[in-house]
Amino acid sequence: MTEQRPLGSGFGPTTTAAEVIAGQDLRGKVAIVTGGYSGLGLVAAQTLAAAGAEVVVPARDQTRAQASTAGGPPLQLESLDLMDPESIDAFAGRFLDSGRPLHLLINNAGIMAPPLTRDARGYESQFSTNHLGHFQLTARLWPALQRAGGARVVQVSSRGHARGGVTLEDVNYERRGYDGPEAYAQAKSANVLFAVELDARGRADGVRAFAVHPGGIMTNLGRYVSTERLRAFDIIDDDGKPVVDPSRDRKSPEQGAATIVWCAVSPQLDGKGGVYCEDCDIARTVPGDGSPGPGVRPWAIDREIAGKLWALSETLTGVRFL
């Protein structure tokens, strides 16, 4: 695992995805971006496609995906529901049958702080969608990642992980009271832990993994959050318009997607992995004392916890990985 400390990348909070990728030619590269038809995922997918990559965007809502991607760089739309194991297997099977390598897998799709909802297995929806769905998807796509001869997996996490880690004994809120933001924090911590363990296990196959905090951006992810709460967190102003102030981690979608794209393609990260990144650089580690602000909390990069989460994820999904 790469040391969790900034590189001094030369980029920062105001950097855009287009600036990160400037001058790169991705022709011959294949990418999958989950949730790549809205918000940050759409910017990331279009940025990669504009640089020449073949970009596959799996989406649950095909009508919405077709409308939102029309007129931009060409994206290949596919069907996928991350809360449905059969849908995940079917999508991965179709991709594997194409014989293509997979150079970039950006696990971006997610939900945030909905009312308590469960999938068909009884699993809490945020943990199911944000973590388990991407765990299973990555496992099923592993042969294509190996075939690339050098691949990257990017887990889109959040500074929201600072609110708390993964409660391994009750990840699905079967024995404790449900709290939407707390469950979101658990899922986002799981995203980072997955990157830590995946990088350690995949390194020998040339697959490196990263976790990303993109920034505070007003996207459809916040659809379950009340207007009052969005104002309280300074995500929108009194007129309901998105607040853009990168110095306070309030970013435009183009700025928010920059760290995702940086982790996916930057040569500065060659030979590195297993780290949490923000503002187009590796983040520093900060104490888990409940204070807000930048940096990654210890519970999200703990290798022992990461290994236990991996084992639990295999049990819950029934998918043996690597």
- Please give the full DSSP string across 213-251, using - where no structure is assigned: E--B--SGGGGGS-HHHHHHTTSB-TTSPBP-BGGGTB-
Say how far apart CA 224 and CA 162 lie, in whole Å: 20
CA 34 – CA 107 distance, rounded (Å): 5
Domain ranges of the chain: 17-317
Residues labelled as active-site residues: 184
In the chain, which ranges are continuous DSSP H helix? 17-21, 39-50, 62-69, 85-97, 125-126, 133-140, 142-147, 180-202, 227-232, 253-265, 303-317
What separation in angstroms does the CA of 286 have from each of 4, 133, 277, 299? 10, 29, 13, 11
Lowest mean pLDDT among 11-25, 113-127, 225-239, 266-280: 225-239
CA distances from 119 to 29, 83, 127, 130, 132 (A): 34, 6, 10, 12, 11
Is 177 buried (19+), middle (13-18) or exposed (0-12) by CB count in 10 A? exposed
Q: What is the pTM of this model?
A: 0.94
User: Domain spanning 17-317: which CATH class is it, in words?
Assistant: alpha beta
With beta carbons less than 8 A apart as the criterion, state whether 77 and 237 touch: no
Question: pLDDT of 226-272, one tens digit each?
Answer: 677 667 656 677 767 777 778 888 899 999 999 999 999 999 999 99
Region 42-58 average pLDDT = 98
Q: What is the mean pLDDT of residues 310-321?
A: 96
pLDDT tops 60 at residue 150: yes
Does 268 or 288 have the greater pLDDT score? 268
Tally of residues, the chain: 322
